Structure 1
Amino acid sequence: MRLLKKIQCATLLLAFLYSCQPNDYREVISDGSYQIAAQDRLTEIIIHDIFSPPVASRIYAYTSIAAYEVAALDDEGNHKSLMGQLNGFEKAEFEISEDVYLPLASLAAYYKVGTALIFSEEMMQEHKENTYKELKSKGIPKEVFEASIALGDNVADHVISYSKKDNYHQSRSFEKYTISSDPNSWQPTPPMYMEGIEPHWNKIRTFVLESPDQFKSDPPTAFSSEKDSDFYREAEEVFNVVKNLTKEQSDIAFFWDCNPYKVNVKGHVMFAEKKITPGGHWMGIAAISSKTAKQDWKGTAETLAKTSIAVFDGFIACWDEKYKSVLIRPETYINKYIDEDWLPVLQTPPFPEYTSGHSVISNAAAETLTGLFGDGFHFVDSTEVAFGLPIREFDSFRKAADEAAISRLYGGIHYMPAIVNGASVGKKLGQFLSTKIITKEENLASN
């Protein structure tokens, strides 16, 4: 009798477990939750490995492109490949067997490219293995798993080969930035006095822009230390805003800080605080928006790929101007000409002032996301919750970009022209990308 009861219990348990499985393994990955989870892991690793904002944008871009290229292989969808559209991205043919499960292949491509571009490979490998174990438990057959991984790896190899030709590896051996003695020129700032990062980023191949300076900003205000000059008044504006900062302005400044390596000094103790990059923040917004809109896995792959491309090209355009104008930061100027004890709210980043990177890439991303989801798209930005900050809500991507841009004034690290002109470049860039990158048949018809 006891044996019979055990058999009955085991039978009921198996029946329950079977009922929890999808009737068709091809329903296991329907939305973008697995790619978003992989991106969350990639963000953790980017923070852990302390990649600079421009380099982080490169990691997000190639990884997201790989996942999207698999989505574009789906004959049942209407997504267009980026091969032949992005600068230097040559077309390739991929054999798709009947056993291939494309959502899994897309995920495999994401994992392989992401792993190839980071330092802490074991962190991504661990996440991949846990994800694969979960997917196998949901009934994906062994032959399907193997065929899907093989296709994903093939697409990833093509994207990795593409990435190796963007001049990034060559730029690792380029000469470092040489500090100038000109009074208007950028100088390293406390507490670490770090050297200027990525002074040759404008030599990295763009994805869509015809050249790094395709959308030139107006030149910065002519430097002057005279109190009746426009430049002095711009510095004085930064000084006064920080001096009279409201709580709301302070909250905005810290929410959009996105400093990947902030150094804190307390007495004789110095310690680092690692956080998300500006591009990582917008990739987080892209993921949140995709989830809010309940996109399927292909829509999520498209959203992340297009946003990452906008951010990547945005950094190249911005860094091109930064190391041409090489403008002095407010902290250096104010300490020398207005108040030697003044400190900004945020830690000054280790690169020239003009234009504002946040302003450029935020607006480029916002225009891209607006093109995907429309204006007036409400979303809750919880990207910074992991770093002890509350959520912020926005009624459009453009409003979020406006707030990200002005946060640099509140933080005391940018003059207004860098914010206004940077935003203008970012908007033009984002709008240009939306017309140049065709990801859907309906977009092709409208263009």
Structure 2
Amino acid sequence: MKNKFLSPFIRQVTLAICMVVSGIAVYANDRNETSREKPEKGMSADVPVKWSRMTLKILKETPGGSPTYGSRSLGYMGLTMYESVVHGKATYKSLSGQLNGLKQLPQPEPKQKYNWALALNAGQAYMLKHLYEQTSSNNIASIDSLENAIYKTESNKEIAERSASYGQEIARAIFEWSKTDGGYQGYKRNFDSTYNVPTGNGYWQAPAKGQSPVALPLHPYWGKNRTFVVANAELEIPAKIPYSFRKDSDYYQQMYEVYQMRGKLTQEQKEIANWWGDDPSQTFSPPGHSYNIATITILTAKADFFKATQTYARVGMAVADAFINCWKCKYVYHAQRPWSFIFYNIATLWNLYWPEPPFPAFYSGHAAQAAAAAIVLTDMYGSPFEFTDNSHVGREMDNERVVEYKARHFYSFWHAARETADSRMYGGIHTCHDNEVGLSEGTKIAKNINALAWQG
């Protein structure tokens, strides 16, 4: 089975990111007040973007991070951002009553004025400090500093207090709901020494020299967590190509393709493997990369305040559900990574380009979450949509692999998702089958996110 890779695209090194900076407007909460739509046009995405960047800073700088726990956090951060301001936009609809077990959220006081940016501000600070209670005191100080700086932009003390109080109420309600999803304080149990991984042909083995210093499976029960959308929990687990060591089998050919790829990697393919590697011990992890692409999209499209909040909510919940479903599948099949099969059946001296992560292979989490993000962004911003991903610009060069981290240019969100999936094969840690199924499953998950009643 041949893998069809996209031809390399011309990359631009820089992108002029337009920052729309404007005053933070105040809006009345009366849905019968027809004049409310007029001031909304002046609200920029500045405050949502600042909180997105702060969130990714905390993800990156808090020890013990994982793509699983990070994805969950982004789901709740995005949802809280959206719900804290949804009543400020006449055409937007709350997701309470639509999500899995989220029955009711606090309501703003009728006929009272709210500064929606301050509501968002308070909600994000509350949620981030509670989701990352284990982060450093310096990071907590950074969160408080940003919250205080934005709070001071409102001169009317009564409006400021009312708005901040409402944002905290929303965040508190969502955080309490989050405690029942199965992933609460998941950072305390990243690796499970009691989990029994099956042994035998085709089963995953913890890598001796992998991405993680701990040779135990990461979050083996994550797939039992509650999804944001009920329909995503109901998706069937996809079929996997059955194990076979026969050279004429599909399984063998999938592994042989990975073996061959390692010997002919181009510089471009090495750069792609590095760019999407997103080791959570060094970066804001794969879901964080998708959340940052949401920011890049918002700035590139010059999206307004309210559209920005919905963008983060959709992307956050999409990648969160993608990781839950992917981990469910991983710990049903416990599928081996290419290295172990290649070592025992093809070549003992073969080595992969990128270190193995500490969990089974099928299907690719990178591919699934990238596809999920791409589909929700395409639904909101269309295709083609040209953008430059500068997520890792400025990162120190990888001297071991002789790779610089240079910005990558894309012509659509799916173009980026496709490259994300391919990067895992270039790294030697996934087969084409892993990637294709991941892209397919991520697409299904995102469509269920898009199908929510966002407009009311």
**1:210 aligns to what SS in structure 2?**
helix
1:94 Cα deviation (Å)?
2.2
1:117 aligns with 2:137: no
Of 131, 139, 155 in structure 1, the residue corresponding to residue 146 of structure 2 is 131
Q: Report sequence identity in percent.
A: 29
Q: Which residue of 2 aligns with 1:142?
A: 157
Q: Which residue of 1 aligns with 2:69?
A: 55
Distance 1:242 1:285 in 2: 28
Q: Which residue of 1 aligns with 2:316?
A: 308
Give 1 or 2: higher helix fraction: 1
**2:84 aligns to what SS in structure 1?**
helix
Matched AA of 1:90:
K
Post-superposition CA distance 1:188-242 (Å, at most 9, x none)? 01323521111111111011143546143222x2212233333222111101101
1:85 aligns with 2:98: yes
Q: Structure 1 residues 39 and 429, CA, compared in 2 at 3 Å: closer, same or farther?
A: same
**1:168 aligns to what SS in structure 2?**
coil
Count of residues in Structure 1 that have an aligned counterpart in Structure 2: 407
More divergent stretch after superposition (127-136 vs 246-255): 127-136
Is the Cα–Cα contact under 8 Å of residues 26 and 113 in structure 2 kept in the other structure?
Answer: no
Distance 2:56 2:303 in 1: 21
**2:196 aligns to what SS in structure 1?**
coil
1:54 Cα deviation (Å)?
1.1
1:391 aligns with 2:407: yes
Post-superposition CA distance 1:96-117 (Å, at most 9, x none)? 3735311111121011011100
Distance 1:23 1:109 in 2: 16
Q: Structure 1 residues 402 and 345, CA, compared in 2 at 3 Å: closer, same or farther?
A: same
Q: Structure 1 residues 126 and 229, CA, compared in 2 at 3 Å: closer, same or farther?
A: same
Q: Which residue of 2 aligns with 1:439?
A: 454
TM-score calculated relative to the size of structure 2: 0.83
Is the Cα–Cα contact under 8 Å of residues 356 and 418 in structure 1 kept in the other structure?
Answer: yes
Is the Cα–Cα contact under 8 Å of residues 21 and 138 in structure 1 kept in the other structure?
Answer: no
Tell which structure's C-alpha radius of gyration is larger: 1
Q: Structure 1 residues 310 and 222, CA, compared in 2 at 3 Å: closer, same or farther?
A: same
1:45 aligns with 2:58: yes
1:63 Cα deviation (Å)?
1.4
1:138 Cα deviation (Å)?
4.1
Post-superposition CA distance 1:16-73 (Å, at most 9, x none)? xxxx996977899922222222222221221222321111011111111111102212
1:372 aligns with 2:375: no
Distance 1:433 1:135 in 2: 30
What aligned pairs does 1:168-187 form with structure 2 within 5 A after superposition?
168-169=183-184, 176-187=194-205
Q: Which residue of 1 aligns with 2:431?
A: 415
In structure 2, the gaps of 5 or more residues are 1-20, 28-38, 397-404
More divergent stretch after superposition (205-214 vs 320-329): 205-214
**2:388 aligns to what SS in structure 1?**
strand
Of 345, 353, 358 in structure 1, the residue corresponding to residue 361 of structure 2 is 353
Matched AA of 1:428:
K
Matched AA of 1:200:
Y
Is the Cα–Cα contact under 8 Å of residues 114 and 159 in structure 2 kept in the other structure?
Answer: yes
Q: Structure 1 residues 312 and 133, CA, compared in 2 at 3 Å: closer, same or farther?
A: closer
Q: Which residue of 2 aligns with 1:154?
A: 169
Post-superposition CA distance 1:331-370 (Å, at most 9, x none)? 1221222222222111111100100111111111111110
In structure 1, the gaps of 5 or more residues are 1-19, 262-273, 442-447
1:133 Cα deviation (Å)?
4.2
1:289 aligns with 2:302: no
Of 213, 218, 225 in structure 1, the residue corresponding to residue 239 of structure 2 is 218
Matched AA of 2:406:
P
More divergent stretch after superposition (119-128 vs 34-43): 119-128
More divergent stretch after superposition (364-373 vs 90-99): 90-99
Is the Cα–Cα contact under 8 Å of residues 209 and 313 in structure 1 kept in the other structure?
Answer: no
Of 319, 323, 326 in structure 1, the residue corresponding to residue 331 of structure 2 is 323
TM-score calculated relative to the size of structure 1: 0.85
Distance 2:26 2:454 in 1: 27
Distance 1:106 1:124 in 2: 19
Of 257, 260, 277 in structure 2, the residue corresponding to residue 240 of structure 1 is 260
Distance 1:422 1:340 in 2: 28
Is the Cα–Cα contact under 8 Å of residues 231 and 448 in structure 2 kept in the other structure?
Answer: no
Q: Structure 1 residues 349 and 22, CA, compared in 2 at 3 Å: closer, same or farther?
A: closer
Distance 2:194 2:233 in 1: 20
Distance 2:106 2:57 in 1: 33
Q: What is the alpha-carbon root mean square deviation over aligned residues?
A: 2.5
Q: Which residue of 2 aligns with 1:252?
A: 272
Matched AA of 1:57:
S
More divergent stretch after superposition (183-192 vs 302-311): 183-192
